[in-house]
């Protein structure tokens, strides 16, 4: 069946029509004419899989990765970087328009690296094979190298067979020094890891939450700040753009005196916001991350910071008009409604909202925009070659 691809959807899949019914086709490019197999048919839409490219789009390029068509990791490796940036801007502007948010985002900030930028990976081990699951399945795609990952992580992956793990989960993190932290969950007995320690700069190995070698954290450096990051604490995955996010935070907190950093992780944004001798209070649900944040404040000689370990919705009484700025950098699920309502009720002057999920961002903006105006809205290409994008929004209380 020949289909012409009309445009991308908001997940980076090509869209076509069969008898006026919409069909989503992953890895197709607008302008392609493709033969497809229908893999899902429900009352509202179809999903298809390319079986043959009859006529490639002028926008299509050869994907650098041989696993691109099977693997669910990258969505946009078959178009140029500049087309992928344009796509991300268009998708955010479309979602804003659909939600009646009257703002046109014009800038997307590029990552300094297009490939090998990720400092963290989660892998599956199935029957001694290491890789990612194929998109939406539990079928393992064995990988020897992933173009998104830091080179040292790729080199370690090639050597992991010495551990002889049959089944389990692996996380690998790295830092500015190319040190590696290896986190393993498995019921198998781990064979000797001496060979890995000889070949790599391993800062720690954690098996089933117990440290079996070195330490349970890694220290990273962004701009001139150092951050201790425990194996289970969040840290931004692309250091080649992270410094630009930090610069945006700094620019936009320049006049702030008292900042509340909700969802603060290991204190990254707080520490960047506090250079101007402001007071900062950070809130974070993960205990290790809060311990890291307290340590990181000292490590960077910042002494005007306080941190609380809690779910944000349990400390809403602490969200008061004493704060002139609130930073929100929530997980993909967005900000709890109780927290949004409290910020509005207290009338905090400025909100800086950093988001990795545009759907929850617009949901939350629709609530905040009753009392706030958008002062600045930029995108950051944090997740290069994938459909995901980071948003940076500054909101100012209406007069």
Ligand X SMILES: C[S@@+](CC[C@H](N)C(=O)[O-])C[C@H]1O[C@@H](n2cnc3c(N)ncnc32)[C@H](O)[C@@H]1O
Residue of closest CB approach to ligand X:
265
- Residue 234 binds ligand X (CB under 6 A): yes
For the bound state, the minimum distance from the C-beta of residue 305 to ligand X, rounded and expressed in Å, comes to: 14
For the bound state, the minimum distance from the C-beta of residue 285 to ligand X, rounded and expressed in Å, comes to: 4
CB closer to ligand X, 3 vs 245? 245
CB closer to ligand X, 50 vs 281? 281
For ligand X, the binding residue among 38, 106, 331, 341 (CB under 6 A) is 331
- Residue 25 binds ligand X (CB under 6 A): no
Size of the site for ligand X (CB under 6 A): 18
For the bound state, the minimum distance from the C-beta of residue 250 to ligand X, rounded and expressed in Å, comes to: 13
Span near ligand X by CB under 6 A; candidates 5-13, 141-149, 200-208, 325-333: 325-333
CB closer to ligand X, 329 vs 364? 329
For the bound state, the minimum distance from the C-beta of residue 263 to ligand X, rounded and expressed in Å, comes to: 3
Contacts of 291 (CB under 8 A, 6+ apart): 230
Token duo for residue 115? 């490939």
For ligand X, the binding residue among 32, 284, 357, 381 (CB under 6 A) is 284
The 3-state secondary structure of the chain reads: CEEECCEECCCCCEEEEECCEEEEECCCCCCCEEEEEEEEECCCEEEEEEEEEEECCCCCCCCCCCCCCCECCCCCCCCCHHHHHHHHHHHHHHHHHHCCCCCCCCCEECCCCCCCCECEEEEEEECCEEEEEECCCCCEEECCCCCCECHHHHHHHHHHHHHCCCCEEEEEEECCCCCEEEEEECCCCCCCCHHHHHHCCEEEEEECCEEEEECCEEEEEECCEEEEEECCCCCCCCHHHHHHHHHHHHHHCCCCCEEEEECCCCCHHHHHHHHHCCEEEEEECCHHHHHHHHHHHHHCCCCCEEEEECCHHHHHHHCCCCCCEEEECCCCCCCCHHHHHHHHHHCCCEEEEEECCHHHHHHHHHHHCCCEEEEEEEEECCCCCCCCCEEEEEEEECC
Span near ligand X by CB under 6 A; candidates 77-85, 229-237, 273-281, 367-375: 229-237
For residues 235 to 274, the per-residue mask of contacts with ligand X, x marking binding by CB under 6 A and - elsewhere, is: xx--------------------------xxx--xx-----
- Residue 285 binds ligand X (CB under 6 A): yes
For residues 286 to 305, the per-residue mask of contacts with ligand X, x marking binding by CB under 6 A and - elsewhere, is: x--x----------------
Span near ligand X by CB under 6 A; candidates 12-20, 70-78, 178-186, 228-236: 228-236
Residues 23, 2: Cα–Cα separation, whole Å: 12
Residues 217, 394: Cα–Cα separation, whole Å: 32
For ligand X, the binding residue among 32, 179, 291, 329 (CB under 6 A) is 329
CB closer to ligand X, 285 vs 316? 285
CB closer to ligand X, 307 vs 377? 307
CB closer to ligand X, 32 vs 358? 358
CB closer to ligand X, 26 vs 330? 330
CB closer to ligand X, 26 vs 265? 265
- Closest by alpha carbon to 329, among 236, 251, 240, 200? 236
CB closer to ligand X, 77 vs 262? 262
Footprint on this chain of ligand X (rule: CB under 6 A) = 234-236, 263-265, 268-269, 283-286, 289, 311-312, 329-331
């Amino acid at each position: 069946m020949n289909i012409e691809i009309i445009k991308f959807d908001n997940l980076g899949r090509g869209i076509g029509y069969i008898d006026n019914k919409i069909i989503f086709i992953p890895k197709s490019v607008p302008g392609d004419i493709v033969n497809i197999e229908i893999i899902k048919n429900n009352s509202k839409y179809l999903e298809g899989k390319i079986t043959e490219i009859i006529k490639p789009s002028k926008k299509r390029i050869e994907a650098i990765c041989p696993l691109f068509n099977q693997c669910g990791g990258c969505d946009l490796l078959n178009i140029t970087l500049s087309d992928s940036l344009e796509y991300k801007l268009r998708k955010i502007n479309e979602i804003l328009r659909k939600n009646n948010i009257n703002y046109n985002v014009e800038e997307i900030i590029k990552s300094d690296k297009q490939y090998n930028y990720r400092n963290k990976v989660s892998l599956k081990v199935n029957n001694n094979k290491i890789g990612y699951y194929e998109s939406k399945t539990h079928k393992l795609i064995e990988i020897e190298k992933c173009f998104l990952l830091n080179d040292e992580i790729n080199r370690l992956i090639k050597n992991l067979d010495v551990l002889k793990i049959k089944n389990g989960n692996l996380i690998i993190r790295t830092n500015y020094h190319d040190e590696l932290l290896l986190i393993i969950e498995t019921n198998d007995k781990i064979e000797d890891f001496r060979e890995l320690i000889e070949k790599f700069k391993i800062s720690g190995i954690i098996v089933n939450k117990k440290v079996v070698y070195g330490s349970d954290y890694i220290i990273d450096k962004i701009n001139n700040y150092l951050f201790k990051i425990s194996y289970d604490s969040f840290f931004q995955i692309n250091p080649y753009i992270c410094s630009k996010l930090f610069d945006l935070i700094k620019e936009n907190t320049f006049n702030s005196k008292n900042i509340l950093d909700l969802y603060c992780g290991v204190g990254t944004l707080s520490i960047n916001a506090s250079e101007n001798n402001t007071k900062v209070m950070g809130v974070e649900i993960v205990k290790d991350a809060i311990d890291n944040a307290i340590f990181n404040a000292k490590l960077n000689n910042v002494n005007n910071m306080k941190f609380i370990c809690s779910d944000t919705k349990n400390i809403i009484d602490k969200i008061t008009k004493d704060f002139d700025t609130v930073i929100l950098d929530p997980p993909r699920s967005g900000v709890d409604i109780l927290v949004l309502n409290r910020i509005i009720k207290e009338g905090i002057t400025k909100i800086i909202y950093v988001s990795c999920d545009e759907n929850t961002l617009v949901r939350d903006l629709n609530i905040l925009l009753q009392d706030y105006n958008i002062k600045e809205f930029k995108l950051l290409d944090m997740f290069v070659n994938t459909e995901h994008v980071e948003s940076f929004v500054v909101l100012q209380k209406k007069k």
